[in-house]
Amino acid sequence: MSKLGHWQLWLPWLMFAAVMLLSVQYVLGLVTRSKVIDSGAAMFGGRVDVGHARVSIVDRHIALHDVCVADPRRPFNNLVEGDRCEFDVAAGPLLHKRTVIERGSVTGLRFATPRDESGTSSKSRSAVAAPSIQWWNDTTNQQPTEWLELLIRRFDPRLVNQFEAIKQTSALDDRVPREAAALDKRVRELARRAEELQSKVNRALANPLRNAEFLQAIAQEVPALQKEFADAAAEMERLPDSIDADRRAIVAARRNDEAWLRDQLQFPPLEAEALTAYLLQKQVTAPVDEVIDLLRVIRQIVPAKTAASSPAGQRGEDILFAGCERAPQLLVRKLVLAGMATIGSRRVELRGTLSDYAFPPALHDQPLRVKLTSLGSVPFELQATVDRLGATAHDELAIDCQGIVLPRTELGESEHLRLELAPSSGALSIRLKLDGDALSGEIELVQKQVQITPSIGRDLSTVPITAALDDALGNVDALATRITISGTLAQPRCRLTSDLGPVVAEGMDRALWRATELHVRRMMSNAERQVDQRFTELERQVAEIQAELRPQLAQAAGQVSDIAARRTPPQRITTERVGRRLPANSLFQ
């Protein structure tokens, strides 16, 4: 009974203690959640959401659920998201106002997930807009465009109008009808004159004595007219000969035209580096920016220089006494990471560790290391080292990804020339270093089983290079692209080299050689056909003119000859002539 009474005495106290413990635990959970949200926003620069937090005093265990860290650069995206974060906190350091997480785990990690609410908050740091990378020889990107535009201009079929043969034919085309018209006019004028003369002569011959003087004058005019007729006839007969002479001159000009056209189709060599930049620069800028952004995020989370030891709003200054050592306020010895990521349009399961995260980082003797590897068909490995031990901040990022599946890609900036890369597999290797502000490193992508299909824009449709280019690129099986990065984190500079540029340049050279031969043949035959057509037409016109004028000329000439034949010089009436005309038996003969 005394035991029962004793039990009744301590049980309420025990229950009270339990309730107090649970209350403390609950309050600690709220405080921890608030602290994580505040310090997370300060660390990442974006809003941090925590679903709920649970603190176990007995186990020294903290569990956070549904943690989302907003991306400060993209407010409606999460930088990282985790389903469950568990931390085992060491008790001893807490007595010395330090938080040491001996081990922990973050499961259900996801990256770059969308979020419903904006991730900016009043406590967030303003995210610095990431400047785009600068490329070495940025202007070379324009060179292939200009080169292709030159190609369009030089392969223009209208260039045939600049052929000397065509010009001469056009001149002949203008001249011959003009000459024919002049000849026609001249013949008509001569015919009119002959007709007029004929009528005058006829009238004069009706009374020759009265028109004796006129008939005398006719005697001089008729030979001149006959000469004019002869000249006109000769000129008419000379027309075909003139055309023949022009034809010979045009044949000679045609040879010059071919030489001129071949000269026009001599192009400056297309630089492989410029072609690489033209084809790939735009496509790789965004991924390279993303990789460099990753370093910026690392620098944002672990700044190169820790801000003043006194937190904002603290009054006074904390003194470190002689004999005391500075220690990080927060130390995470090891975190096991597990989650999913999208690599090359494939969902990949990731496992990894984060070790030795400290704040301030310089107060811990080990650099922060992150290692992530994939499970499954796509081998992926990421290693990041963030070292703040020395005077200069040193960051390293290494990513290796084998068997990455690259989607169908279109290369090329303008509508002139585009290359379509069919889906292929590749190996991606990224090595980046950041010493202080100096950025260096390489990104290498090797693509295998590549299928490249060139497509030519409408402007270049007159240039027959597609088939030849297709043949040249059909032999390409693998491509290697390398981006060398230098400069600073604020102004990164990149140099792009790839097999693609030289391959396409070589293919383009061959295609262009074939296209030039084909184009020259086509243009020359086109010019020849045009010249022949015009000559045929001219000859037909000349023949028609001759057929038309020749009878007119002959008729008029006949009239003149007739005039010349009928013309009798008027004789003076003498007694002798009169007597001879008298009958023989005339008394006066």
| Torsion-angle region of 180 (φ positive above 0: left; ψ -120 to 50: alpha; else: beta) | alpha
Q: In angstroms, what is the minimal distance from the CB of 91 to another protein?
A: 10
Between 39 and 142, CB nearer to another protein: 39
Q: In angstroms, what is the minimal distance from the CB of 302 to another protein?
A: 24
First-to-last alpha carbon distance for the chain, in angstroms, is 210
Q: In angstroms, what is the minimal distance from the CB of 318 to another protein?
A: 5
Between 259 and 322, CB nearer to another protein: 322
Among the residue ranges 229-237, 311-319, 387-395, 413-421, the one whose residues contact another protein (CB under 8 A): 311-319
Between 294 and 327, CB nearer to another protein: 327
| Structure-token pair, residue 470 | 């297709």
Among the residue ranges 26-34, 126-134, 241-249, 316-324, the one whose residues contact another protein (CB under 8 A): 316-324
CA distances from 386 to 36, 357, 390 (A): 22, 9, 11
- The answer to the question of residue 458 lying near another protein (CB under 8 A) is no
Q: Give residue 311's identity as a one-letter amino acid code.
A: P
| CB atoms closer than 10 angstroms to residue 280 | 25
Among 322, 391, 584, 587, which residue interacts with another protein (rule: CB under 8 A)?
A: 322
- The answer to the question of residue 365 lying near another protein (CB under 8 A) is no
- The answer to the question of residue 315 lying near another protein (CB under 8 A) is yes
Between 363 and 389, CB nearer to another protein: 363
Among the residue ranges 26-34, 96-104, 395-403, 523-531, the one whose residues contact another protein (CB under 8 A): 96-104
CA distances from 54 to 20, 57, 85, 105, 107 (A): 16, 10, 10, 15, 16
Cβ neighbourhood burial of 191 (10 Å; 0-12, 13-18, 19+): buried
Among the residue ranges 12-20, 90-98, 342-350, 439-447, the one whose residues contact another protein (CB under 8 A): 90-98
Cβ distance 201 to 217 under 8 Å?
Answer: no
Among 9, 12, 58, 97, which residue interacts with another protein (rule: CB under 8 A)?
A: 97
Q: At 170, is the secondary structure helix, strand, or coil?
A: helix
Cβ distance 359 to 367 under 8 Å?
Answer: no
* Cβ contacts of 213 within 8 Å, gap of 6 or more: none
Among the residue ranges 272-280, 312-320, 338-346, 453-461, the one whose residues contact another protein (CB under 8 A): 312-320
- Within its chain, how far is the Cα of 137 from the centroid? 16
- The answer to the question of residue 319 lying near another protein (CB under 8 A) is yes
DSSP assigned state of 114: B
User: Within 13 Å of residue 393, how many CA atoms lie on the same side as its CB?
Assistant: 22
Among the residue ranges 268-276, 299-307, 315-323, 419-427, the one whose residues contact another protein (CB under 8 A): 315-323
Q: In angstroms, what is the minimal distance from the CB of 360 to another protein?
A: 15
* CA quadruple 528, 530, 536, 539: dihedral sign: negative
Cβ distance 128 to 45 under 8 Å?
Answer: no
Among 116, 241, 263, 318, which residue interacts with another protein (rule: CB under 8 A)?
A: 318
Distance CA 415, CA 327 (A): 61
Among 323, 391, 575, 586, which residue interacts with another protein (rule: CB under 8 A)?
A: 323
Among the residue ranges 33-41, 132-140, 314-322, 463-471, the one whose residues contact another protein (CB under 8 A): 314-322
DSSP string, 522-550: HHHHHHHHHHHHHHHHHHHHHHHHHHHHH
DSSP string, 231-260: HHHHHHHHHHHHHHHHHHHHHHHHHHHHHH
Q: In angstroms, what is the minimal distance from the CB of 96 to another protein?
A: 5
CA distances from 159 to 152, 170, 260, 311, 467 (A): 11, 15, 11, 76, 23
- The answer to the question of residue 116 lying near another protein (CB under 8 A) is no
Between 326 and 581, CB nearer to another protein: 326
Among 259, 308, 312, 324, which residue interacts with another protein (rule: CB under 8 A)?
A: 324
Distance CA 295, CA 485 (A): 13
Q: At 406, is the secondary structure helix, strand, or coil?
A: strand
Between 319 and 584, CB nearer to another protein: 319
Among the residue ranges 94-102, 245-253, 294-302, 405-413, the one whose residues contact another protein (CB under 8 A): 94-102
Between 5 and 323, CB nearer to another protein: 323
Among the residue ranges 91-99, 385-393, 464-472, 486-494, the one whose residues contact another protein (CB under 8 A): 91-99
CA distances from 510 to 103, 269, 421, 456, 471 (A): 63, 12, 21, 16, 10
Q: In angstroms, what is the minimal distance from the CB of 135 to another protein?
A: 52
| Structure-token pair, residue 356 | 């030795």
- The answer to the question of residue 308 lying near another protein (CB under 8 A) is no
Among 116, 139, 241, 321, which residue interacts with another protein (rule: CB under 8 A)?
A: 321
Between 206 and 324, CB nearer to another protein: 324
* Cβ contacts of 386 within 8 Å, gap of 6 or more: 298, 302, 361, 367, 368, 369, 370, 395
Q: In angstroms, what is the minimal distance from the CB of 325 to another protein?
A: 10
Among 3, 96, 458, 572, which residue interacts with another protein (rule: CB under 8 A)?
A: 96
Among 9, 312, 320, 565, which residue interacts with another protein (rule: CB under 8 A)?
A: 320
- Interaction site with another protein (CB under 8 A): 95-98, 314-324
